[in-house]
Amino acid sequence: MSKKLSRQFYNRATIDVAREILDKQIVYNSPNGKLSARIVEVEAYIGEGDPACHASRGKTKRNEVMFGKAGFAYLYLIYGMYNCLNFVTEKDGFPSAILLRAAEPEEGIDIMLQNNFKKESSKLLAGPGLFCKAFGLTREQNGLDLTNEELYLESRNNNKVEIVETTRIGISDGKELLGRFYDKNSKAVSKR
């Protein structure tokens, strides 16, 4: 049986949450039906001292969700065409979040294929932009409470996951800081 994660899960050190969030199940009750996937790749963005974190330049309208309480969804548009989904972590007033980079489809694959057609299912969620496209998430979902029924995470019966920790991807500052975690054995991890 799986179980919805409470706000307490998110309200901890971002690195710990990032490590444990792997192999969790993300569930989204979309207008078209229920979608779910197994998380296999994330990145941590921690605080105003992290040059790669959006919050490093202070609080703005765009990133204000990160400054709020843990357990909310932070969604934003990147490069004019792709959305990225983050999970806000740590206490109120401390800006930090975990970027969801890749997952493996479980329920609702047919719906994901409608959202992002001409894709094979194993690569359907292999990247942050692709994930949001297949799930139908946009910045209209920014600020959703992950303890509600619409969008949330579930724990599952722990497979043993081989976690690899490396540097983050696609950023210009703060490259040397570790913060990317992924399941070594998953085929859905974004690599070229």
- Residue 30 Cβ, how far from DNA at the closest point, in Å? 19
Residues whose CB falls within 8 Å of the CB of residue 65, separated by 6 or more in sequence, listed in order: 72, 73, 74, 88, 142, 143
- Residue 86 Cβ, how far from DNA at the closest point, in Å? 4
Give me the amino acid identity at 73: A
> Which of 22, 84, 103, 137 is the binder for DNA (CB under 7 A)?
84
C-beta of 24 vs 180, nearer to DNA: 180
CA distance 98 to 44: 5
Residues 115-134 that bind DNA (CB under 7 A): 119, 126-131
> Which of 31, 61, 149, 157 is the binder for DNA (CB under 7 A)?
61
C-beta of 22 vs 130, nearer to DNA: 130
80 binds DNA (CB under 7 A): yes
Residue found under tokens 């197994």? 38
Cα–Cα distances (Å) from 84 to 4, 160, 184, in that order, read 22, 27, 22
User: What are 191's two structure tokens?
Assistant: 């690599």
Residues 10-39 that bind DNA (CB under 7 A): none
3-state SS assignment for residue 112: helix
> Which of 3, 62, 184, 187 is the binder for DNA (CB under 7 A)?
62
Residue 10: phi and psi, rounded to 5, are -80, -25
CA distance 189 to 174: 22
Return residues touching DNA (CB under 7 A).
Answer: 43, 45, 52-54, 57-58, 60-63, 66, 74, 77-82, 84, 86, 97, 99, 119, 126-131, 168-172, 190, 192
